[in-house]
Homo-oligomer: A and B are copies of this chain.
Amino acid sequence: MQILIILAHPDPSSLNHAIAAAVRQRLEEEGHSIWFHDLYAEQFDPLLPAGEIPRDVRLDPVIFRHCRELSDADGIVIIHPNWWGQPPAILTGWIDRVIRPGLAYRFVGDDSGEGVPEGLLRIQAALVINTSNTREDRENLVFGDPLERIWRDCVFGLCGVTNVTREILRIVVTSTPELRRRWIAEMGDLAARIFPGIP
């Protein structure tokens, strides 16, 4: 399978980076082809300009490449911390710019933008890995965990991807090195289970 990995964390020594590296390695060992984007390292520009809003415009080459990879991928892994119930802005902007009408979804019947969208992605499974410093009960009761609806319904659901697994690792800030090592190994195993290779 062709799998797209998107990583959004500013610190190369972060748990997020270690998890992304482990996931990439395990999926390569399974025989998959990987497109890997460390958005901070690539200095991805997250600001959708006004001229990019219409459907049929000539895209910036970097954005066009991201759009093509998203369209051609069989699977996707997204790795980021939970900041304010949202992804870091660099990933919010990746969503804003890369998930485009006519490529990732289209409006059925009414194409004015008011119609009901239909997903166009061929992605068979999505894995979202989040790190958090908020306890599970507090996240659900006080904050309502907006990332759950954002990824499952607003983004992947709209693009036709219904097989979505989301894993939340908490509490990172007080975690021991042992726990982090276990998390890293577990996330590699989880990715290999979701995207099984050819035996």
Interfacial residues, chain A to chain B (CB-CB below 8 A): 10-12, 14, 40, 46-50, 53, 83-90, 92-93, 95-96, 99, 112-114, 116, 133, 135, 138, 142-144, 146-147, 149-150, 153-155, 157, 171, 173-174
Contacts and interface: CB of A to CB of B under 8 A. Distances in A.
A127 B99 CA distance: 29
A183 B133 CA distance: 40
A127 to B, nearest CB: 19
B50 A47 contact: no
Contacts of A87: 86, 92
Nearest to A51: B10
Given A53-B10, A153-B143, A83 B112 contact: no
B154 A84 contact: yes
Contacts of A113: 133, 173-174
Given A46-B47, A86-B86, A114-B135, 13 more contacts: A10-B48, A10-B53, A11-B50, A40-B47, A47-B89, A84-B95, A84-B155, A85-B146, A89-B92, A114-B174, A142-B157, A146-B149, A146-B150
A195 B93 CA distance: 32
Given A89-B90, A90-B89, A149-B146, A96 B112 contact: no
